Amino acid sequence: MWLNHYLLIRHTPNGRKYPFLDCWGLVIEFYRRELGIELDDYTDFSIKDGYEKESERGGFMEVSGSEAEKGDVIAFFRHGQIFHVAVYLGRGEMLHTGLNRHARVEKIKSMQFVESRFYRYRDISLTACPEPQNCPC
């Protein structure tokens, strides 16, 4: 199953080499492996910097929660500052990794007391998936 690949990920601060990834590294891995989209890794930057740089170059556009689709990125904000990202899996679930934990699937609402926003990559489509019938998106 495609999901097993991601559940082996061990959270590693600034990690960019599978299976040692941080939350932005997981998004990069998902987009590369599942959608054939190469995102910049911004290895020397925090998730905040990587996410903001992708947004600045027009990589992501915000969509409403009701329009969210599998494969969209969820950005979590506290006091107006982004601190975490995850991949939306549909049905209110996300794939993410966090400090001292393996990647996991959890309900979005498990992230309490934070604001969440959904973003879609400008080039995302099922046609990017090599095997659309098996694509998680």
Kindly report, residue by residue over 81-127, the tens digit of the pLDDT.
Answer: 888 999 999 999 999 998 888 999 999 999 988 899 999 988 665 44
Instruction: Please tell me the distance from the alpha carbon of residue 129 to that of residue 120, in angstroms, as a whole number.
Output: 15
Please report the pLDDT score of residue 113 as a whole number: 85
Q: Give Rg (Cα) of the chain.
A: 14
Question: DSSP letter string over 26-75?
Answer: HHHHHIIIII-------TTS-HHHHHHHHHHTT-EEEE-GGG--TTPEEE
Please report the pLDDT score of residue 127 as a whole number: 41
pLDDT digits (tens, 9 = 90+) for 91-103: 999 999 988 889 9
Instruction: Please tell me the distance from the alpha carbon of residue 33 to that of residue 93, in angstroms, as a whole number.
Output: 20
Residue 30, pLDDT > 70, answer: yes
Please report the pLDDT score of residue 18 as a whole number: 96
Residues across the chain: 137
Residue 52, pLDDT > 80, answer: no
Please report the pLDDT score of residue 112 as a whole number: 87
If you average pLDDT over every residue of the chain, what do you get?
Answer: 83
**Beta 20-21 vs 16-17: how paired, if at all?**
antiparallel
**Domains parsed from the chain with CATH numbers:** 2-124 (3.90.1720.10)
